[in-house]
Amino acid sequence: MADRRAQLAARVRRTLGEALGATRTRVAAAQAELAAERDRLARVRRAAAAVPERVGAERDRRLAEVDGRHAARIAELTRRAADAARREAPGAASAEWARWRPTPAGRAEPPGALRVGTLAVPGADSVPALVPLLDAGHVELTGDDRAASEAVVSALLLRAVGRADPGAVRLTAYDPEHLGGGLAGFAPLGTAGLLTSVGPGGLGRLLDDLVEHIRRINSTVLAGEHASLRELAAATGRRPEPWRVAVLLGGEEPSRHERGQLDRVVRTGAACGVHLVVRGLGLPGDPTVTRIRVEPGRARLAGAPPVDLDPPPPASLVTETCREVAARVNAGPAPTPFTDLLPPPDRMWREDSATGLTAPIGEGPHGRPVLLSLGDYPPHALIGGPSGTGKTNLIFAWIGALAARYSPAELEFYLLDFKEGVSFARFAQGRRDPSWLPHMRLVGINVNTDREFGLALLRFLAEELRRRADAAKKHEVTKLAELRAVDPTGHWPRIVAVVDEFQMLLAGRDAVAREAADLLEDLARRGRSQGIHLVLASQDVRGIEALWGRPALVAQFTLRIALPKALRILAERNDAAQSLPRHHAVVNAESGLVEGNEIARIPSASDWETWSELQHRLWRMRPPDAAPARLFDGDAIPRLADAPDFRALSAPETGTLRAPVALLGEIIDVQARSAALRLPRAPGRNLAVLGTRVDEACAVLDAAARSLARQHRPGTARFSIACLDPDADPAARALYEDLADDAAWYDEESVTELMAETAAGLGSPGAAGAPHYLLLYAVDAAAGALATRIGGRTGLEQLRRILHDGPERRTHVLAWWRGVARMRADLGGPAARTDQIGAWVALDAHGGELGSSLYPGTGGPDWYPRPWRGLFFDRAVHRTGQTIIPYGPER
Ligand SMILES: Nc1ncnc2c1ncn2[C@@H]1O[C@H](COP(=O)(O)OP(=O)(O)OP(=O)(O)O)[C@@H](O)[C@H]1O
């Protein structure tokens, strides 16, 4: 039993042991499994945690890429939009206030749209928000923020003013509630009439005015040729009318009539440069209206992103700009360019002058050129205007416009300027500028004290008139156009003779004035049909007796050009010139009658650069044989060696000339001829030079001697030089040396011998041998020496004998007396005969002293001495004295 119990116990123990072991294994396995599971869970967790991170990164990467592309696109669009805006609104239309200044649009350039702020596009902060106004449309502002609206209005107006030439934008303000308070900064424009304020109740009138203005522009300015002023400006480069901007700020509800007018202005204004900027007045729907809803700091434009508004322009900038604009306008309009008057270079010299000469002189009120014509009608022109009003400039402009159209074969100019100044000298060849105007045949400058220059020109033209009339008669025609048709190879250009300050020529009642008026009248009457046209300019024609005393003369000047404030150029009741602005002229081809008035704005043509560009172009086009214009310069001293008449002199191969000539000085004439004294063997062929001017007296004797010497072979003539004034010594000695062996020198001591010997020689038979010229310098100084008797006669008696008998024996006296009375004394006293003095040159001797027996008639010649001029009278050939310019010293 014990065993069984022991066996049982052992079995139980074994069983229990086995169970325990299995359990332990199972636990271990379970634990291992748990650990493995835990491990997996951790892995899974880790894996699970890693998954969203990857996906997000991809998404973010993609998003960033899209963002980047978007930003670049926006940046590109922004840049393009900003560029376009800059082009559309250049300079003052869009510049920031800190660097803002007026930049007026060029002549054919559109003014562009105006900036009010920037478009509030995220990332697009530099795209300007633009509003079209000038030449484009109208602006309507809405919203309750009055200050912000005012800021927009000021910005628009200032930019508009800055984009136009001063005066080209005119503002009208209607602000019944605040009486223009918002536009106070623009007030300075009012001083130049560029800002008008309309009081309460004035809306209807204002709108009526605008409608009327639009109507006028449509009918007279656009005149069916252009659809808008903008088109006209693009086509012609001219803007004949200013823009009008009406700023209408609130007020009562417009009446039906006012609504109707508002409607008309909106529909038709933009084409005529009439624009509205309104607030508190609904504008009718129209594509030209830009509506801006203004909120504090922001605004909305239909169809655009919101706009961040610019700050208002600084008050000082507004006032300063307006003040400057007003000052510029008050100073007068800017000149139009001279090139407006010229045809394009390939059209120059293409016009035919057979029937007349036509060229523009400036711009009319509607931008059309105002033309000046010379031909059968009107044939001649009178230009008037006080000093400084632009006569010279007008002459330049006219000459330029003509010279660019007609070649020198069609047109020639002769020009004389009686006022001081040398501006016309540039037409002739100069030292500084070798060019000349190829049409110019003669230019007279510094001639204010030499009316003879005017006379010379008129005489020359009279001669040309005669030549043309003869040619016309020969061909049995009457007019230039016909003459040119029957004689196509002839040289028959139209001639335009311009005389500036011509009243100087006609001043006084002397012989010069009388002859000038006679010649003028003849030229004015007959020049018309022969293509000779006179253009006379004067600062004051009222006092020209010679003009008003000859109505027939004035009547020929049917073309009148009056500069501002000109008197008596237009007809009596035509006072258009009195209200003319600066640089304008009334052009009137109806003898000044009101109906003929045309107002022209004259371009600036007289400054050196403007003019010389044209002159150089024309000069390069000149024909190969073109010669420079003859320049009469009253201040220039001619030289004998250059004188054509002197160069033409020569000595005969054999024998002696029958009548040698002594050249005394240059005649004032168109060909620069010399005054010549013929010295044949005839009584009285002596010369007296009268006056105290040493240099001029020496110059006359010098030229006489040198020109005579040129007509005798060496050794065939005698020149006896006696100099009795030490001041004349250098000149006389120079002559003595140059005449070399043919000359003999005498002084105070020896002059008596000269007289005695010469007088004795006259008595000997066959005395008319070699010519003998006695050149006596200041002979009156020898009166004392000559008073002594030698061989029964005094030196003076011998001198008288030589004067009397010498010329027939080829012995001529060319003597200088320092006064008329001294000469008379030497000739035998105040009542002595003077017929042995056949010719004289008066220097500073007055006309009155030259009367009685020296000059025909009574009272002597009209002669008023002036420096470096002489009056030459040769009783054998002259009816009246001839003014000469002595030749300058040769060395
Ligand atoms: N149309 C113009 N545009 C611009 N400047 C002008 C114009 N006309 C004249 N001027 C200027 O005005 C000034 C006076 O003009 P201009 O010499 O032609 O006058 P004027 O009437 O001939 O005077 P004066 O008789 O004193 O010589 C000059 O400096 C000239 O350049």
- Domain end point (choices 28, 55, 88): 88
Per-residue pLDDT at 622: 95
Together in a domain, 810 and 878: yes
Q: What interhelical angle do 795-805 and 751-763 show, nearest 10?
A: 40
Q: Is the pLDDT of residue 796 over 60?
A: yes
pLDDT in tens, 136-193: 999 999 988 888 888 999 999 999 999 999 999 999 999 887 766 778 899 999 988 8
Q: Hey, which of 389, 393, 395, 582 would you mutate to test ligand 1's pocket, going by the most ligand atoms within 8 Å of its Cβ? A: 393
Do the domain assignments include residue 555? yes
Do the domain assignments include residue 806? yes
Together in a domain, 611 and 751: no
Per-residue pLDDT at 365: 77
Please, are residues 859 and 847 in contact by the beta-carbon 8 Å criterion? yes
Q: Is the pLDDT of residue 548 over 60?
A: yes
Together in a domain, 799 and 843: yes
Give the position, in ligand 1's atom list, of the atom nearest the Cα of 583: 1
> Which neighbouring-strand residues pair with 816?
689
Task: Look up tokens 């061989």; give the residue.
Answer: 791
Do the domain assignments include residue 740? yes
pLDDT in tens, 638-673: 999 999 999 999 998 887 788 999 999 999 988 889
Mean pLDDT value of segment 382-393:
93
- Most confidently modeled range among 72-86, 319-333, 735-749: 735-749
Q: Which two tokens stand for residue 234?
A: 């693009």
For residue 332, the Cα-to-chain-centroid distance in whole angstroms is 16
Mean pLDDT value of segment 774-802:
90
Q: Hey, which of 392, 448, 565 would you mutate to test ligand 1's pocket, going by the most ligand atoms within 8 Å of its Cβ? A: 392
- Domain end point (choices 278, 295, 323): 323
Per-residue pLDDT at 1: 52
- Domain end point (choices 633, 665, 695): 633
Of 139-153, 179-193, 454-468, 737-751, give the lowest mean pLDDT range. Answer: 179-193
Q: DSSP H helical segments within 537-601, as ranges? A: 545-548, 551-555
Give the position, in ligand 1's atom list, of the atom nearest the Cα of 397: 1
Å from CA of 383 to ligand 1 middle: 13
Sequence-distant (≥ 6) Cβ neighbours of residue 701 within 8 angstroms: 689, 732, 735, 775, 777, 814, 816
What is the average pLDDT score of the chain? 88
Whose CA is closest to 698, among 735, 739, 748, 746? 735
Which string of b and e fits 503-522 if b means at least 16 CB within 10 Å? Answer: bbbbbeeeebbebbbebbbb
d(CA 189, CA 170): 9
Please, are residues 705 and 731 in contact by the beta-carbon 8 Å criterion? no
Task: Look up residue 639 and give its DSSP letter.
Answer: B
Together in a domain, 83 and 25: yes
Together in a domain, 447 and 393: yes
Do the domain assignments include residue 653? no
Written as one string, the DSSP assignment of 77-101 is HHHHHHHHHHHHS-GGGT--GGG--
Q: Kindly indicate the confidence band of residue 228, based on its pLDDT and cuts at 50, 70 and 90.
A: very high
Q: Is 360 in the pocket of ligand 1 (CB under 6 A)?
A: no
Together in a domain, 466 and 567: yes
Do the domain assignments include residue 769? yes
Coil, helix or strand at residue 233: helix
The CATH code of the domain that includes 565 is 3.40.50.300
Whose CA is closest to 429, among 443, 414, 415? 443
Together in a domain, 492 and 608: yes
Together in a domain, 78 and 202: no
pLDDT in tens, 564-620: 999 889 998 999 999 898 899 999 999 999 999 999 999 999 888 888 899 999 999
Please, are residues 160 and 243 in contact by the beta-carbon 8 Å criterion? yes
> Which neighbouring-strand residues pair with 211?
none
Do the domain assignments include residue 862? yes
Q: How would you class 379 by CB atoms within 10 Å of its CB: exposed for 0-12, middle for 13-18, buried for 19 or more?
A: buried
Q: How many domains, the chain?
A: 4
Together in a domain, 30 and 111: no
Q: Is the pLDDT of residue 487 over 60?
A: yes
Do the domain assignments include residue 411? yes
Do the domain assignments include residue 657? no
Coil, helix or strand at residue 413: strand
pLDDT in tens, 311-362: 999 999 999 999 999 988 887 666 678 998 999 999 999 999 999 999 999 9
Per-residue pLDDT at 526: 92
Whose CA is closest to 239, among 118, 105, 370? 105
Query: CA 196, 200, 206 angle in degrees (round to 5)?
Result: 50
Together in a domain, 13 and 74: yes
Mean pLDDT value of segment 703-732:
95
Written as one string, the DSSP assignment of 371-412 is EEEEESSS--EEEE--TTSSHHHHHHHHHHHHHHHS-TTTEE
Residue nearest to atom 5 of ligand 1 (CA): 604
The torsion angle over the Cα atoms of residues 39, 41, 42 and 44, rounded to 10 degrees, is 120
Host domain of residue 840: 673-885
Q: In what order do the strands lie in the sheet with 289-295?
A: 128-131, 114-119, 307-309, 298-301, 289-295, 138-142, 274-279, 243-249, 169-174, 195-198
Binding residues for ATP: 385-392
Q: Hey, which of 341, 580, 601, 606 would you mutate to test ligand 1's pocket, going by the most ligand atoms within 8 Å of its Cβ? A: 606
Q: Is the ipTM of this complex over 0.95?
A: yes
Q: pTM score, two decimals? A: 0.68
Residue nearest to atom 3 of ligand 1 (CA): 604
Which string of b and e fits 52-61 if b means at least 16 CB within 10 Å? Answer: eeeeeeeeee
Give the position, in ligand 1's atom list, of the atom nearest the Cα of 386: 21
Together in a domain, 286 and 415: no
Å from CA of 428 to ligand 1 middle: 21
Q: Is 539 in the pocket of ligand 1 (CB under 6 A)?
A: yes
Binding residues: 385-392
Q: In what order do the strands lie in the sheet with 772-777?
A: 674-678, 661-667, 882-885, 870-874, 839-842, 687-690, 811-817, 772-777, 718-723, 743-746
Q: Is 606 in the pocket of ligand 1 (CB under 6 A)?
A: yes
Q: Is 367 in the pocket of ligand 1 (CB under 6 A)?
A: no
d(CA 436, CA 458): 23
Sequence-distant (≥ 6) Cβ neighbours of residue 155 within 8 angstroms: 114, 115, 116, 310, 312, 313
Å from CA of 584 to ligand 1 middle: 11
Query: CA 462, 468, 473 angle in degrees (round to 5)?
Result: 125
Task: Look up tokens 């069983």; give the residue.
Answer: 15
Whether residue 623 is preceded by a cis peptide bond, meaning omega within 30 degrees of 0, is no
> Which neighbouring-strand residues pair with 231?
none
Residue nearest to atom 8 of ligand 1 (CA): 390
Together in a domain, 82 and 102: no
